[in-house]
Amino acid sequence: MAGGQNRKLVEDYMKAWTKADASTLNRLLDDDFKFNNPPPGITPDKEGAVEMSQMFRTAFPDMTIRVEKWVEQGDDVAFHAIATGTHKGEFMGVDPTNKRATTEIVSIVTVRGGKVVQDITVFDALGLMTQIGAIPEMTPPSR
């Protein structure tokens, strides 16, 4: 795919992931899809990607992802984004806190044959868990 089609596919993928739209995710993800960074208990494949999207959507039902920058190179579409949501459901063993959380995301998504085949995503999990109160805030040592 060329001429922005890969980016459009990745935009559709991210919208479906944010909304936990399993039907669209199953259509967009290749059967051999791989995800590099699943949380404990989630498989790094197509089924795990759908499960993870549902886990995040349940925990942060108002979640939005705003892409700040796109970079395209061949089959790869990279982006830097800001995710924001309110912790209204259980997340990774943490009961809802109703706290608002914001985290940065950097992803490299590979597209082949009109399908998403790989998602390499890094996000500030420590910052997210701190914001919802699962981890105490770090304070600098006193001098």
Q: For the chain, which residues make up each domain, given as ranges?
A: 5-131
- Looking at every residue in the chain, the average pLDDT score rounds to 94
Strand order in the sheet with 100-112: 29-35, 115-123, 100-112, 76-86, 64-73
pLDDT at 2: 55
Question: 114 versus 136: which is more confidently predicted?
Answer: 114
Mean pLDDT of 126-135: 94
Regarding pTM above 0.85, the answer is yes
Q: Which fold has domain 5-131?
A: Nuclear Transport Factor 2; Chain: A, (3.10.450)
pLDDT at 137: 84
pLDDT at 110: 98
**Position 7 pLDDT exceeds 80:** yes
pLDDT at 24: 98
Q: What is the pLDDT of residues 27-72, one digit of tens each?
A: 999 999 999 989 889 999 999 999 999 999 999 999 999 999 999 9
- Whole-Å CA distances, 89 to 70, 77, 97, 120: 30, 31, 8, 26
What is the Cα–Cα distance from 12 to 15, expressed in whole angstroms? 5
What is the Cα–Cα distance from 32 to 90, expressed in whole angstroms? 29
Q: Supply the DSSP symbol for 69.
A: E
